[in-house]
Structure 1
Amino acid sequence: MTSQQLKGVTLGSTMTLEEFVSVARDGTYVEFSDTYRQRVEHSRSLLNKRMKQGRVMYGVNTGFGALSTQVISTDQTKQLQRNILLSHAASVGEPLEEECVRAIMLMVLQNLGQGYSGVQLRTLEMYRELLNRGVTPFVPREGSVGYLNVEAHIALVLLGEGKACIEGEVMPAKDALAKAGLEPVELAAKEGLALINGTTSPTAIGALALYDMVKAAKSADIIAAMTLEVLRGTTRALDDRLMSVRPHEQQRNTASNIRRMLEDSMIARQSIDHRLQDALSIRAIPQLHGAAKKTLYDALSTFEIEMNACCDNPILWPDEEDGGAMSGSNCDSSYIGIELDSACIGVTSIAKMSERRNNRLINTHLSGYPPFLIQGSGLNSGLMIPQYSQAGLLNDMRMLSHPATVDSIPTCADQEDYVAMGYNSAKKAREVVKKLEYILAIELLSAYHAYPFIESSLTPGSASKAVLERIAPSVSRMTEDKYLYPDIEAIKDLIHSGDILAVVEETIGALH
């Protein structure tokens, strides 16, 4: 489906995380509302007026950072815009994924479209055209502390500098623009700084990660419920009376999700007195998943504020004709970075419980099923080694859960003597959620292969049955050792795409 066939997202009012992801990931068409255009044009006219009055304003007619005491003459301001982009495009290494670059461009439009930055409307129209025409700047991903150099690689494309990708081919930016029917533009005063400033890259990349984390956390409830079911766990630990005396909303909602998954399960009904008490990886699902989800929803609240804010520096206050450019530090990424560091800890906790549940599925002494869920073990290893993969992935996640925001390495000759490091929080959040999806996929793979060992008279719940039927076309039942990589990838893709969540919600209604 092309972006023109999708319903467009109109900028100018509050944007949701779902709308944000639809543009970055699905290519949804971007439009500007009249309000958006009016805000931008008013801010630019105000900046032009103040420049004519000869006011000295940081980033408009001065140097940047530690060079802010250097006044730039009017006839040098255009050269200043070009220079800041060329000198700041210093990130290195492998390129960011296309959806991350698109997300950053969208965040730049959101940031500068608030009407406090003094940029020209035509400049923002160019970013909109890059999004809508499928031109993706080539952006090396390593080396940002929160802003500037990643964004500079993107902004260079407006000048016909750097590289860009169109129709799957990386080429000089000038050629990519020409192929899309666009011409390079010349930036005016303040625009070079505005295009690269702010929390746009941490917010953009982090928003994609957070979207996937929330979806994976809901999928974790589904997968945990299926493991509880197939391991003959007791649903007594999910009783709402138990939840009510410790009334954390996400804990209570998680227990409700799992009860609804299993309310028509003959297996769960038969197993309610199977044990007096289950192991914590089964019994404490509402408590741990709930705590992690609270962290994710706290982060979501912060992100929805940041996505609809102005994080530029300086800002131009449009209602004070006597005012100038107010320099502060709205470009600091601490809000985003700290939330993402916390989110990484939360989803790593979900992963560590998933690995333990999987261990119970494949360990014959804990499950009562054949070793590693295959007949003829010894000759066959069955699902022994995917748990090794979980262990390796989980070790990575634990390392990545060390907070980036507790670090600070001064930059800019100590003008920026404290640095938030929110970009690295966002970058590692992307990696953490990918690994969570794999860990959950391996647990679900084991649960899928455990169900046939349940006596046929005991049927699973309708939600579990729907998941099993969704997996079946991609993953054949294992009677002897087989190549497992495609199966893990297939289930991981079903989790990432939201298919697992969708089939359950189609069966029992929306999960909390």
Structure 2
Amino acid sequence: MLNYLETELKQNGNLAKDTNAKNENTNRVELGGTATLEALVAVARAKAEVIFSDAYCQRVNRSRTLVEKWIREGRVMYGITTGFGALCDRVISEEETAQLQKNIILSHSTSVGEPLSIEQTRAVMFMMLQNMGQGFSGVSLALLERIRLMLNLDLIPFAPREGSVGYLSVEAHIGMAIIGLGKIFENGVPVESRLVLHKHGLEPFVLGAKEGLALISGTTSPTALAALAIFDMKTSTLSADIIGALSLEANHGNIKAFDERLMQARPYAEQGNTAANVRMLLQDSEVIKASEGHRLQDALSLRAIPQLHGAVKRMIQDAVRTVEEEMNTCSDNPIIWPEGDDGHAMSGCHCDSSYVGLAMDSAAIAATTLAKMSERRNYRLITEHLSGMPWFLIQNPGLNSGLMIPQYTQAGLLNDMKILSHPASVDSIPTCGGQEDYVAMGYNAAKKALSIAEKLEYILAIELLSVYQAHQFLDPGVKPASVTAAILKEIGKHIPVSSQDQFLYPHMEYLKALIHSGRLVEIAESYVGSML
């Protein structure tokens, strides 16, 4: 299943498009302009090559020149010539600068447990380049070149994922690998980073003034994880439209609930777009046409698809906008503000992750609601007195369990999603001796959103499996929509129609990959054009 997914990701050019690139090479992402979710996913998943624009290099060099000038002048600057957090009033000499930056990496590498996946760590490294590359961090271009080189060589650090409140610890573990003290994955196994670097002709990087602090400061890890989660949630909203339309068709549903005139009476754009998607998907369905007058109105899980899916899309789109805005900011502290020949070092709190945390908590609730409706549609399909088809969509039920138990899987996943939908951003546990007396918890909001995004894909996949099996019980003389036929044909290449019980796990994994990779949306859009 993983090989299938990786192939789909590499073949799907949409994942590797970068609106800022000066060339059409979908295997390359240029940093320096406005970064997009697609650019981050291209680097994180498809392992697109990262390059820097001239503008990127110029603004990094400009801010670095200022930092070096200020150090020579003996200015007192937070995290550059002082300690960190509650120790910000302790002045550090110029001779101790390198040790200070190394110390912050050593002391802050405290996240624990299982590591981030390769994909997730690559996304964080991408965000490090984005954050420090805005020209407000004062780091050297050499540091960013080292991170870029590690990404392009796929030298990915071991970074435990548990125990971050919004920044610091995960990034510090990545910093450990950069300076030769941590670990880098080699063939899936964490190996001492200095050994891996040596194999590639690289020496451990020696951090200069401000660079240790800049590596760990900012919303890089919550933004990276949020970007991956919201990208998948966005894809799932369109997948849900497709699967919901196919469920409506298999249930002989009433298309009048999707009438454009009805949508105009309550003109939410996302609701109208969802209804339009369903109408387009089923426009040539003989099943839907033959179902006219079958019932006055359907159950809410079918009838309210435009309303619920539309509301979810609004929340997801709001989160997309927030995450992409955050991707294109500098969330460092202090900020190096170039102005005239001198400039300023200004301390604030751009490292606060409230924007990302609140957005992802909201998106998580929306995604769980989408899953809730999908499970209900699936329940109708497998329930004889609701669908009119044999129990659990299997011939000879009783001897066979058919698709009885995948709905249990949906129930278990949905229970997890409901638990994970409790917002992380409402919590605050003071840290740093009271210096950080309020904490945003954006990292945990993003981390749990990743889990919710994956569980949503599985729940939709199980509904799609039921739709696929249901078609053996529909009248073969009445044709389904062209989109339906194409999707069933694609699934049929990998999954046999069940006439008796069979091993279902690989089928659910295949369908989840079909959704995750964007292939399901791609098939549908090849018939109806771009969906909204």
TM-score normalised to structure 1 length: 0.98
Deviations 1:333-392 (A, max 9, x none): 000000000000001000000000000000000000011111111111111111111000
Aligned counterpart, 1:201: 221
**1:219 equivalenced with 2:269 (yes/no):** no
Equivalent of 2:505 in 457, 481, 485: 485
Q: Distance in 2 between matches of 1:223 and 1:127?
A: 41
Structure 1 counterpart of 2:286, one-letter code: M
Deviations 1:431-454 (A, max 9, x none): 001100110011010110111111
Q: Distance in 2 between matches of 1:253 and 1:468?
A: 24
Q: How does 1:310-459 map to 2 (within 5 A)?
A: 310-459=330-479
Contact in 2 for aligned 1:147/1:198 (Cα 8 Å): yes
Aligned counterpart, 1:229: 249
Aligned counterpart, 1:142: 162
Structure 1 counterpart of 2:115, one-letter code: P
Aligned counterpart, 1:182: 202
Q: Which moved more, 1:87-96 or 1:156-165?
A: 156-165
Structure 2 counterpart of 1:17, one-letter code: L
Deviations 1:63-111 (A, max 9, x none): 0000000000110010001100000000000010001100101101001
Structure 1 counterpart of 2:274, one-letter code: T
Contact in 2 for aligned 1:134/1:167 (Cα 8 Å): no
How many equivalent pairs are there?
511
Aligned counterpart, 2:54: 34
Aligned counterpart, 1:131: 151
Deviations 1:211-258 (A, max 9, x none): 000001100000000000010000000001111111111100000000
Q: Distance in 2 between matches of 1:201 and 1:276?
A: 50
Q: Distance in 2 between matches of 1:212 and 1:147?
A: 23
Deviations 1:101-154 (A, max 9, x none): 001011010011111111001000000001001100000010000000100000
Q: How does 1:48-59 map to 2 (within 5 A)?
A: 48-59=68-79
Aligned counterpart, 2:518: 498
Contact in 2 for aligned 1:410/1:418 (Cα 8 Å): yes
Equivalent of 2:186 in 166, 170, 188: 166
Deviations 1:28-47 (A, max 9, x none): 00001111010000100011
> How many percent identity over aligned positions?
57
Q: Distance in 1 between matches of 2:396 and 2:199?
A: 60
How far off is 1:54 after superposition? 1.3
Structure 2 counterpart of 1:315, one-letter code: I
Q: Distance in 2 between matches of 1:73 and 1:324?
A: 20
Q: What residue ranges of structure 1 are gaps of 5+ in the alignment?
A: none
Contact in 1 for aligned 2:472/2:497 (Cα 8 Å): no
Deviations 1:251-273 (A, max 9, x none): 00000000000000000111121
Equivalent of 1:472 in 475, 486, 492: 492
Q: How does 1:7-46 map to 2 (within 5 A)?
A: 7-46=27-66
Contact in 1 for aligned 2:338/2:344 (Cα 8 Å): no
Contact in 2 for aligned 1:134/1:166 (Cα 8 Å): no
Equivalent of 1:105 in 125, 133, 136: 125
Equivalent of 1:295 in 315, 330, 340: 315
Structure 2 counterpart of 1:13, one-letter code: G
Q: Distance in 2 between matches of 1:398 and 1:473?
A: 34
Q: Distance in 1 between matches of 2:491 and 2:285?
A: 19
Contact in 2 for aligned 1:91/1:140 (Cα 8 Å): yes
Q: Distance in 2 between matches of 1:456 and 1:181?
A: 64
Contact in 2 for aligned 1:292/1:349 (Cα 8 Å): yes
Contact in 2 for aligned 1:94/1:140 (Cα 8 Å): yes
Aligned counterpart, 2:260: 240
How far off is 1:167 after superposition? 4.0
Contact in 1 for aligned 2:250/2:470 (Cα 8 Å): yes
Structure 2 counterpart of 1:475, one-letter code: I
The runs of 4+ residues in structure 1 deviating greater than 4 Å are 320-323
RMSD of aligned Cα (Å): 1.2
How far off is 1:325 after superposition? 1.3
Deviations 1:285-333 (A, max 9, x none): 0000000010000111111111111000000111154543100000000
Equivalent of 2:101 in 78, 81, 86: 81
**1:153 equivalenced with 2:141 (yes/no):** no
Equivalent of 1:114 in 117, 122, 134: 134
Contact in 2 for aligned 1:466/1:507 (Cα 8 Å): no
User: Secondary structure of the residue that 1:141 maps to in structure 2?
Assistant: strand
Q: Distance in 1 between matches of 2:193 and 2:219?
A: 25
Q: Distance in 2 between matches of 1:33 and 1:504?
A: 36
Contact in 2 for aligned 1:470/1:500 (Cα 8 Å): no
Q: What residue ranges of structure 2 are gaps of 5+ in the alignment?
A: 1-9, 17-24
Q: Distance in 1 between matches of 2:463 and 2:291?
A: 21
Q: Distance in 2 between matches of 1:302 and 1:18?
A: 15
Aligned counterpart, 2:22: none
Contact in 2 for aligned 1:135/1:180 (Cα 8 Å): no
TM-score normalised to structure 2 length: 0.95
Contact in 2 for aligned 1:206/1:426 (Cα 8 Å): yes
User: Secondary structure of the residue that 1:135 maps to in structure 2?
Assistant: coil
Q: Distance in 2 between matches of 1:152 and 1:270?
A: 62
Q: Distance in 1 between matches of 2:267 and 2:503?
A: 45
How far off is 1:180 after superposition? 2.6
How far off is 1:179 after superposition? 2.1
